[in-house]
Amino acid sequence: MMIPFRALVRKDILLFFVDRRALLMSFAIPIAIGSFFGYVLGGQGDAAQSKIPVLAVDQDGSAISRDIVTRLSGEKALDVKPSNPADARAAVRKGAATVAVIVPPNFGQDAGRAFFGPQQKPEIAVLFDPSHTAERAMVTGMLAGDVMQSVSKEMFTGQTGRAMVKDSLAQVEQIPGLPDADKKPLEDLLRSVDRWNQSGQGDSAGLSRGLTMPFTTREEAVTARQNTKYNGYAHAFAGMVVQFVLFLGIDVGIGLLQQRQRGLWKRFRAAPLSRGVLLGSRAVSAAILAFLVVQVNFLFARLVFGVKVEGSMLGFLGVSAAFALMTAAFGMLVATVGKTPEATRGLSIFAVLIVVMLGGAWIPMFLFPQWLQKLTVVVPTRWAMDGFEAMTWRGLGLQAAAAPIAVLLLFAAGFGVLAVARFRWEVEG
Amino acid sequence: MLQVDDLKKSYGNLVAVNGVSLRAGAGETIGLLGPNGAGKTTTVALIAGLVRPDSGSVEIEGRRLQGDSDSIKRRIGLVPQDLALFDELTAEANLQLFAALYDLDGAAAKRAIGETLELVGLADRAHDRVKDYSGGMKRRLNLAAALLHDPQILLLDEPTVGVDPQSRNAIFDNLEILKGSGKTLLYTTHYMEEAERLCDRIIIMDHGKVVANDTLQGLYRMLPVTNLLSVELDNGQDGLRLDELQTLPGIHSARLEAGTLRVGVQDMATGTPRLLQWLVERGHLYHHVASERANLETVFLTLTGRSLRDS
């Protein structure tokens, strides 16, 4: 039985390597798309991040508003350009700018007054592209810090601030509705600030920078080990490998249907071969090819983009093998779905795209709602992705590969049993 | 020796094969003749073990065929109707695979491949990809693939479909060599000329049933007429009395088709002058007379009431 088994496996592998389309679909296309997605998802971690395009409209022209624009322009994550209200709105609508910040006339004066008193707060308009809500939140946060620094700096050290403190002192008595118990502490505060300003201590005490955040942050990406950067290509290649290896599985199933259509199945069935040899050889050849495709794609990612197996190599090979077996069993199942290759292909591609999407191969799983994240444990691609990511950039050990391997093997067994049960052994007369 | 007894196979309500029995000995060629859908291919599939019969049995050299991996299958070679080849591979790679299905590899496979390629005249194209072959060459390779393991019984399911006359003759030559070497051939076709040329016995099938099983001469003897006379009349059917014509001794049938009188006669020597004299006596002039021997088409028409080609 070994001679026909070996010959059937060898035939499938040979047919794969003489099929240009199969080679393109298994190597060239996943590498091309994986490279693109990897670059978009942050590349090797040291690539320059793309800045958020922001338009700044200064309708005030005061020291405070000018300082706000200057500070915004100094933010590393922003690309700030001056504009006017009409152009800014049009640019955001067209998507040319993500956010536009419009500082209104008299902003400096009104903000100064509102800084110490209960006067009406001036309004800064933030126009944003609704498809970039995360960027809007970032810009608003930075703007809040910059405005606070600019206004407080001017209030404690600037000429405008000094005049405004005196002005505010004079108006305390006239503030309507302010309780007498509150007037005294407010007057004391304003007089203290005025004396501070008169003494000229503000500059030397560091208040020239205005009120700043009383802390700094230290950000650290937690990857395989310290000083090892996150590599966006690891996720991208894992995703594309999962997708295109499953496409290879579809080709396995379609190939079986085509063999039936072309009369080859008759020739195989006419030989004294058991069903185990006929289907088993196809499953083994499919698993070998799927394993090979995984290794070649990750080898490319290793050589070109530095994607390393930071975790257990044994675990990585185990996940690869379990995923390859699952793919082979899936291919067998595909062969039982429809009677013709044409009818089967469309349905199978649809199914693969769904499980690939749900498995987090296209976009990271954390972007899914919680309920969907919980639901995806029933999708084999989720386990393949988890396994590959755990063994590559997360750098986890063999233990972390155990669950993905076990679940993928369970899926392989399930698909295999279903395929054998549904397979049409007899040929049409 | 191939012995098939009372094979039956249905697909739902469709009875594909209904009680087919046949026997074929060494060096004998049996033709399975019938229109498309007659049950020929299903019969071959049942004999080859591709389909499990609802009832009945297949015995090869005295042993009943049982199961997918029954070693008795080695005694059978199947030439499917489709070109069951891998176009992307060379002829040699195809044959290596098909030899391996019967446990042939190494030197034994090489020898078998060389001999079969030589037999079908493709030895010089062994290393070419099948996709570069002509239709006739593919048919010959399709035949070669079934011969590698030297089977005693060869099942040929319409092996000449879509080939040019030259390749068809080449295949016939191959089959005659195989027959001469003592192989048993079961040959399905809907080309009556092929059955007439190759087969020792002909089994005519229709709607899954065997409607006749005899030698070619035996089948002809079933016919009420052995010859058909066609007479082109000068003045059409004016005044022609077919009922009177059919009462003449030796005249079996008479009908008019577009101004041509077609008459079935059992004996050309007596029937022809009697017919022509009858026509002259009644003033029916004619300008052309042709005779045609009854063939398998006629047999099929007689047995089923339908034309073999039009079914």
pLDDT of residue A47: 52
pLDDT value at residue A77: 86
Q: Is the dihedral of CA B290, B293, B296, B299 positive or negative?
A: positive
Strand order of the sheet with strand B251-257? B251-257, B260-265, B227-233, B286-293
CATH ID of B2-86+139-221, from 3.30.559.10, 3.40.50.300, 3.30.70.141, 1.20.1630.10? 3.40.50.300
pLDDT band at B212 (very low <50, low <70, confident <90, very high): very high
- What are the φ and ψ backbone dihedral angles of B228, each rounded to 5 degrees? -115, 130
Q: pLDDT digits over A293-348, tens only?
A: 999 999 999 999 999 999 999 999 999 999 999 999 999 999 988 778 888 888 89
Type of residue found at B61:
E
- Residues A247, A340: Cα–Cα separation, whole Å: 17
Check if the beta carbon of residue A245 is closer than 8 Å to that of residue A322.
Answer: no
Confidence (pLDDT) at B194? 87
Confidence of residue B308 (pLDDT cuts 50, 70, 90): low
Sheet with A52-58, side-by-side order of all strands: A78-82, A52-58, A99-103, A125-128
User: With 60 as the cut, is the pLDDT of residue B311 above it?
Assistant: no
Sign of CA dihedral A87, A92, A98, A102: positive
**Which is higher by pLDDT, A369 or B63?**
B63
**Would you state the pLDDT for residue B106?**
93
Q: Environment class of residue B119 by beta-carbon count within 10 Å: exposed (0-12), middle (13-18) or buried (19+)?
A: middle
Coil, helix or strand at residue A117:
coil
Q: Select the more confidently predicted residue: A313 or B191.
A: A313
Size of chain B in residues: 311
CB contact under 8 A, B86 and A264: yes
In tens, the pLDDT along A20-38 reads 999 999 999 999 999 998 8
Lowest mean pLDDT among A152-166, A351-365, B196-210, B281-295: A152-166
Cα distances (angstroms) measured from residue B286 to each of A168, A308, A392, B67: 134, 96, 96, 65
Nearest to A270 among B43, B73, B89 (CB): B73
Domain ranges of chain B: 2-86+139-221, 227-293
Chain A residues within 8 Å of chain B (Cβ atoms): 3-4, 6-8, 10-11, 14-15, 18-19, 262-264, 266-275, 277, 425-427, 429
Which residues contact residue A193 at a Cβ distance below 8 angstroms, ignoring those fewer than 6 apart?
A116, A155, A156, A165
Residue owning tokens 């109707």 = B81
Choose among B42, B40, B46: nearest CA to B60: B46
Spatial CB neighbours of A399, under 8 Å, sequence gap ≥ 6? none
| Region label for A137, one of left (φ > 0), alpha (ψ between -120 and 50) or beta (otherwise) | alpha
Quick check: B145 and B86 in contact, CB under 8 A? no
Token pair 């022609």 is found at B240
Number of other residues whose CB lies within 10 A of the CB of residue A53: 20
Highest mean pLDDT among A115-129, A408-422, B158-172, B182-196: A408-422
Task: Output the CA–CA distances (angstroms, integers) from residue A61 to A207, A214, A295, in the order listed.
Answer: 22, 29, 61
Chain B residues whose CB is inside 8 A of the A18 CB are: 88-89
The pLDDT score that the predictor gives to residue A210 is 64
Kindly report the nearest CA distance between residue A257 and chain B, in angstroms. 13
List pLDDT tens digits, range A249-260: 999 999 999 998
| Most confident by average pLDDT, A110-119, A285-294, B223-232 | A285-294
Average pLDDT over chain B reads 90
pLDDT tens digits, residue range B75-132?
A: 999 999 999 999 999 999 999 999 999 999 999 999 999 999 999 999 999 999 999 9
The lowest-confidence range among A160-164, B48-52, B66-70 is A160-164
> Domains in chain A and their CATH numbers?
2-44+232-422 (no CATH), 52-209 (3.40.1710)
Q: How far is B295 from chain A (nearest CA, A)?
A: 28
Q: What is the pLDDT of residue A40?
A: 81
Q: Which of B44, B66, B69, B85 to mutate to test the interface with A (most CBs of A within 10 A)?
A: B69
pLDDT for the residue A195: 79
Select the more confidently predicted residue: B74 or A112: B74
Which residue from A262, A271, A427 is facing B101, i.e. has the nearest CB? A271
pLDDT tens track for A44-60: 665 556 789 999 999 99
Name the strand (E) or helix (H) holding A278. Answer: helix A275-305
Nearest CA in chain A to B208: A429
The reply to whether residue A7 touches residue B101, judged by beta carbons under 8 angstroms, is yes
Q: Which fold has domain B227-293?
A: Alpha-Beta Plaits (3.30.70)
Query: Distance between CA atoms of A92 and A274, rounded to whole angstroms?
Result: 67
Structural Rg of chain A based on CA atoms: 33
Judged by average pLDDT, the poorest of A314-328, A387-401, B214-228 is B214-228
Q: Do the Cβ atoms of B279 and B286 come closer than 8 Å? A: yes
Using alpha carbons, select from A334, A333, A376 the residue that is nearest to residue A355.
Answer: A376
Contact B105 A275 (CB under 8 A): no
- A81: confidence class by pLDDT, cuts 50, 70, 90: very high
How many A×B Cβ pairs under 8 Å?
A: 104
Element (DSSP H or E) covering residue A103: strand A99-103
Summary mean pLDDT of chain A:
87
Task: Give the range with max mean pLDDT: B3-12, B156-165, B295-304.
Answer: B3-12
Looking at residue A118, what is its pLDDT? 67
Among B42, B49, B73, the residue with its CB nearest the CB of A429 is B42
Task: Read off the pLDDT of each residue in A386-400 and give the average, rounded to a whole number.
Answer: 92
CA torsion sign, A318 to A394 to A294 to A409? positive
pLDDT at site A46: 58
What is the value of ipTM here, to two decimals? Answer: 0.83
Copy the structure tokens of residue A364.
């990271």
Contact A79, A53 (CB under 8 A): yes
Please tell me the pTM assigned to this model: 0.76
